[in-house]
Structure 1
Amino acid sequence: MNTLQPQTKRSAVKASPRPSAGPNALSRPANLVVNSFFLLYSACCILPLLLVVAVSFSSERDIIIDGYTFWPSNFSLDAYVFLFKDWQQIVRSFGISVLITVGGTALSLLMMALYAYPISRTDFPHRRFFSFFMFFTMLFNGGLVPWYLVYTQLLDMKNSLWALVIPLLVSAFFVLILRTFFETTVPVPLLEAAKIDGASELRIFAQIVLPLSMPVLATVALFQMLNYWNDWFLSLVFITGSKNVNLQFLMYKTMLDIQFLTTNIQAAQGMSQGGGIMNLPTETVRMAMAVLGIGPIVFAYPFFQRFFVKGLTVGAVKG
């Protein structure tokens, strides 16, 4: 009996089936090609960002002589010192950008979802009219001058923070995306069951539709955050002073000032007599502005990534 036990164990081990690969599993060569492609693609996205950061910490003299390098020859903070000479304005503009981005994105997402949900319901009698009304705004608009007059004369939003929020509040493209997601993903029998149980439309929307729609809500929220954070045109049009400008417009204005000082002959001669034109960072300060501009928004994607992964599995398993 003792001599048969090892053989029995070995035969049991041999008889145990190996985990079989799934029907969508890739072969080793295909897996290597796919991983290599994404490694190269990631490098193409990350290396330019690293170059921008490296140039921002380089000296202007090294950039003029040696060009752009991934490792600074002489580490320098001249670009950031130049930018933060007016640190109070930068801090204020940074706070305005954060406030506009967070508040505008939340309000925009709520309004677009409230508009998209009724037109996604087949029992809503006017869904075609309101869908066409939203789609029509994607094709035609009133023009720049009427648009400006509405916000400044009719709504009186000039030099106010609302002028940086309202124009980007609703996007027809995102409304149609939300409508399509509500139609195809949210189960209609679930909504009917909640209605039979006595739930109101607002409760169905808040407790059933929104939790089931987190992937598309996160996607729209991310794009709206990018729109609000990267916008500088609204500050250019509606803000006359420097009190309520956002960070992007402040960086844009600084870049224009530097370009004027370096290209204007009289200004360049006046600064060269005092030795200021030689110490004025131009290339490095542009990279430092890019670092300040993209720094906070880079950390937004990891927060939304889990919703994207969840969205890939929506509808994958049917109960």
Structure 2
Amino acid sequence: MNTTTAQAPAAAAAVSKPAAKRINSISAGSNMVINVIFILYSIVCLLPILLVISASLSDETSITLHGYALIPREWSLSAYHYLGFDMHKILAGYGISIATTVIGSLTGMLMTALYAYPLSRTDFQFRGFFSFFIFFTMIFGGGLVPSYLVYTYIFHLKDTLFALIVPGLLMSAFLVLTTRTFFQQTIHPSILESAQIDGAGEFRIFFGIVLPLSLPVMATVGLFYTLGYWNDWFNSLVYINNDKMVNLQYMMYKVMRNLQFLQSNAQSSSSIGAEEIAKIPSETVRMAMCIVGMGPIVLAYPFFQRYFVAGLTVGAVKG
């Protein structure tokens, strides 16, 4: 009886070893297939970026005659040389864009979290009203003219840095509702009750407990705000008349408008031939501006990536 009982685990272990090897071999094969698929997908995603870089380093005449190619047929730095004439303006635009992005993103994250946290609390008496209030702004808006009048003649934000931060970008209703849902599903009420029993106030609970436990959603919200502020050019078009206060994206837009103006005048002038018109950098400058404009925002992705990974594992392991 005891011998049979003692041999049973050994037999089970002997049977389980081939099964474990089979499972490990299947898992290794699946991992290889998944890795190959993601490598191919990454290459496909990188091809447009490589094409843009190649086009920015190509000669304008070569692109006009032969089209785009991953390897430039004729190398040229004329696009970057053209942008170099306005290098001081580009650096100033970089400064405005970086300041707007940093200040706006941090302020937007804080306001989003401060608005979403009371909505996630079941003991907040007016959460239904404020939830409807923020949801209403997703459906209806005042329009461009009333917004311009409010921000320009009431708040006097025209030609200021706040005109690039506040209008339309400072707080997103969608991100508020997303953050509220995260708070409801992740921050257990017992944690808040324990902190209240220990004598912690609402601000201590929010800044000391809620925000540290909400880094994944805060990183996601911060990335959305960062992309929104960095890619925005419309606020500069509407609210800024001072050329020293425009951001980088609007400055790139003005460069393209200047190029189109040069080309239109060159085509209407009989003294300029077709070869000279073709040498005016248009496509190459457009691609060079993409490279210049996307540099800092690409560097921001690795900073947010680890928080995205943490967000995927939230709730995956239970104690």
Assess if the C-alpha contact under 8 Å between 1:94 and 1:246 holds in 2. yes
Could you say which structure has the higher helix fraction? 2
The answer for the alignment partner of 1:141 in structure 2 is 141
CA contact under 8 A between 2:57 and 2:72: conserved in structure 1? yes
Q: Distance in 2 between matches of 1:218 and 1:19?
A: 42
* Contact 2:111/2:171 (8 A) holds in 1: yes
- The letter for the 2-side match of 1:97 is S
CA distance in 2, matches of 1:265, 1:276: 8
**Aligned-residue RMSD, C-alpha:** 2.6
Query: Secondary structure, in 3 states, of the residue corresponding to 1:141?
Result: coil
Corresponding residue for 2:212? 211
Q: 1:225 to 1:23 in 2, by over 3 A?
A: farther
**Structure 2: which amino acid aligns with 1:147?**
S
- 1:37 match: 37
Q: Which aligned pairs between 1:168-317 and structure 2 lie closer than 5 A?
A: 168-264=169-265, 268-269=268-269, 272=272, 277-317=277-317
Against the structure 1 CA distance between its residues 265 and 75, is the aligned structure 2 distance closer, same or farther, given a 3 Å change threshold?
closer
The 8 Å contact of residues 116 and 175 in structure 1, kept in 2 or not, is answered as yes
Task: Report the AA paired with residue 101 of structure 2.
Answer: T
- Contact kept in structure 2, 1:54 and 1:72, CA below 8 Å: yes
What do residues 38-86 of structure 1 show as CA deviations (whole Å, max 9, x unaligned)?
A: 2332222110000000110111122122211111223211101101101
CA distance in 2, matches of 1:22, 1:159: 68
Give the AA of the match of 1:296: P
Aligned to 1:60: 60
Distance 2:206 2:81 in 1: 50
- Kept in 1, the 8 Å contact 2:90–2:248? The answer is yes
Match of 1:122 in 2: 122
* Compared CA separation, residues 264 and 79, structure 1 to 2 (3 A): same
Q: TM-score, normalised by structure 1?
A: 0.89
Per the alignment, residue 6 of structure 2 pairs with none
Q: Which amino acid aligns with 1:53?
A: I
Q: What do residues 189-245 of structure 1 show as CA deviations (whole Å, max 9, x unaligned)?
A: 011000000001000000100010000000010111000000000000001131100
Q: Tell me, which stretches of 5 or more residues in structure 2 are unaligned?
A: 1-12
Change (3 A) 1:114 1:238: same
Q: Deviations over 1:158-203 (max 9, x none)?
A: 1111000012101000000000000110111011000000001000
- Cα deviation, residue 265, structure 1: 5.8
- Structure 1 distance, partners of 2:271, 2:134, is 54
> Structure 1 CA distance, aligned partners of 2:100 and 2:230?
8
Unaligned runs of 5+ residues in structure 1 are 1-12
Deviation at residue 15 of structure 1 after TM alignment: 9.3
Distance across 2 between alignment mates of 1:62 and 1:310: 47
Identity %: 55
Deviation of residue 21 (structure 1)?
8.1
* Local SS of the residue matching 2:245: coil
- Provide the residue aligned with 2:163 in structure 1: 163
Question: Contact (CA 8 Å) 2:55, 2:287: kept in 1 or not?
Answer: yes
Distance 1:22 1:187 in 2: 41
Give 1:100 deviation, angstroms: 0.5
Deviates more, 1:98-107 or 1:58-67: 58-67
AA partner of residue 244 (structure 1): M
Distance, in Å, in 1 between the alignment partners of 2:158 and 2:55 is 38
Return the alpha-carbon distance in structure 1 between the equivalents of residues 82 and 147 of structure 2: 37
Change in Cα spacing, 1:180 to 1:144, as seen in structure 2 (3 Å) is same
What letter matches 2:221 in structure 1?
V
Give the TM-score normalised by the residue count of structure 2: 0.89
Deviation above 3 Å: which 4+ runs of structure 1? Answer: 13-37, 275-279
